[in-house]
Chains A and B, each alone.
Chain A
Amino acid sequence: MSDDSDKGPSRRGFLGAMAAGGALAAGGARAASDPLITEVQPWNQLLGEGVDETPYGLPIRFESDVVRRDVPWLTADPISSVNFTPIHALEGTITPQGCAFERHHAGAIELAKPDYRLMINGLVDRQMVFTYADLERFPRETHVYFMECAANSGMEWAGAQLNGCQFTQGMIHNMEYVGVPVRLLLEEAGVKPEGKWVLAEGADAAGMTRSIPLEKMLDDCLVAFKANGEALRKEHGYPARLVVPGWEGNMWVKWLRRLEVGDEPWEQREETSKYTDVMADGSARKWTWVMDAKSVITSPSPQAPITHGKGPLVITGLAWSGRGTIRRVDVTTDGGITWHEARLSGPSFSKALHRFHFDVDWDGSEMILQSRAIDDTGYVQPTKDQLRAFRGENSIYHNNGIQTWLVMPDGRVENVEIS
């Protein structure tokens, strides 16, 4: 990494020299002085921006790579489509809302709070209408949950295809939600004894609908109106969305306008044509609601190559399970011959993203990196080949197979599969 060291006292050259100097330090070599230290820099001398400059800020321009990306060939148009969270560049567990992925079926609509209505109808004692202001008067709860698209990693069923964890695992975000338990809303309407299912419906032109068992709705579902401290973003369902912890993202109906109680499921388009998982024999699973335990190393990864040469290297990644908390994450650097327990780092909430770290001293040789999540039910994240043995390659959804990164001696990283 010292090939720039002859270019004079630029920052780039200095760092190269420092890397070389670091290796020689024990021999007593003295590093060249760093002009970023020895010369007065403009930010140390001139004034910065005033507090009236930015009422609501965006990230500094140097972070312009930390943005949503889309893959145009995936869908017919960008309205019923998906984009991807830049998980390769994020740390911790909370996803910044501004770069948290989007999936719409008829675009992101603008629905003002005064125009918002939530209806509860069907097998209830009283068909009800609530305004947004009504929602804010119910007792609230606060929870952190991941929301993963059922199709996350779906393009990888038949083999390594997209090069970057943003694209292969980035249909996910993790937010701290505040909202009203659906249970309280249903109690207000009074569910009749024969009520077993709830149809959730959105206000957009897709009229997004999913059938959800009443039991799940009463257990932990929320009608959320705040995420990561503020109102939901337009593209995430402003002013209110359904939160269905641990279950596939399609069920988290945005711009939620109606909950209907019934005695049978509705078998809507999004639970028959879509979000059903074709098996090798041509039959298909339906109602595959829960998202199983999964993980990915976010750095190094194809979009986050190693640029610092040999020595200390932080391996960082995310793990999550729709069945509960993550108990352990294992990491291998040799493609699964030997595994090491990583450190879980930060909060560990049920059905939420967990951060793991594994610190190594890289000798500059090729590595084959994988992570393996284990949740608190004892479920161990399977390999892609293990999943294919049960399901074939056509199920599109629910690919929680172990991801492999090939780290080359020059620090580049590639999405690969191994035997």
Chain B
Amino acid sequence: MAKHKTPLLDQLESGPWPSFVSDLKLEAEVRAKNEKNVNYQIPVEVVEDLLGVLELSFTDGETHWKHGGIVGVFGYGGGVIGRYCDQPEAFPGVAHFHTVRVAQPTGKYYTTEFLRQIIDIWDMRGSGLTNMHGSTGDIVFLGTTTPQLEEIFYELTHDANVDLGGSGSNLRTPAACLGQSRCEYACYDAQGLCYDMTMEFQDELHRPAFPYKFKFKFDACPNSCVCALARSDFSVVGIWKDEIRIDQEAVAAYVGGEFAPNAGAHSGRDWGKFNIQTEVCDNCPSKCITYADNKLTINDKECVHCMHCINTMPRALMIGNDRGASILCGAKAPILDGPQLSSLLVPFIKVEEPYTEVKDVVENIWDWWMEEGKNRERLGETMRRMGFQKLLEVTNTKADPRHVQEPRHNPYIFWKADEVDGPWERDVNEYRKRHQR
């Protein structure tokens, strides 16, 4: 018998999409029955009370969580999001309902052995509810009490050999696309770089020392499966420098209809027979592909690496062999000065262990931003306030036409005194000798 009536939430049990309400109700039952005899360390009715408070929010149209909450574990300045219900008498099971961010393996591959180990910890010491995963990438354990935090942390680090993720004004948990593990487009080992950088900068991740939050994301090609250039202050996107490799026999197989375009991504609808001219050549943003006399040619010098032709004919066209990545900076959500996508800083960089070149760029940016960034100012906003030129200076990068979409159209140009012949200190009396008042 459920503890609270949930007539509104009950309506979310129908329909084909997996119902979080059904799932929560099942978990509430499993806890109530406790067939495994778990020694629950937080209220058994935590899930029922979560459903209860959520039903109240559905009725009121307003959240029932109190503002903020500062909790954590010794030694770290982040990793746990504190949360308290604003109706603790009615819903004592969620009076404390803190979230624990747990560091996820890059690419989110798991063995069932590891998953079972960490959810057993959570079963006993938490609500049994999770987010798989938070949008930054963490495994999110949703709902526990303050006294359990150190216990959970102890078991995670001692038994499961896994750490907390990041929160607060620091380096947040980095994430990558699945990269070379299962994708033929991967231009570098995004998972390897992501893991290496996460380990290198553990201190920056656990102990807030920045003006504001800072995120890394790693896409191994411009398709951006982890959305690096929209969702991270420091976005590394794989790219190649030489020629797209062409297999003319496979091209013929696409033209002949043996291979489905785009690996069959449009199979649900009749788009007619594959037309290489309209579907590939005409869609190339650079118009640098031609198909004539049964032969596909690409003028690689004009290619902008958009991936369209490769995505459309994955068996015939392959990324080049001279591979690396572009680095873009400054993406952020709208608060405060408006949303930003990352802007191109380093057009091409080699990505090879021990990744020193990439790390140098990050450290130069941090040295500058930690000094100059205002309180709660994202890197993207510091770039806007102080100018892109400043970012080039601190990273020792030479300005290049690739840094702009277009040159400026106002002539309000700053010059440094040493760029101009003769001194800036000038005598107006000297001037008047040539120009009378």
Is the A/B pair a real complex?
no
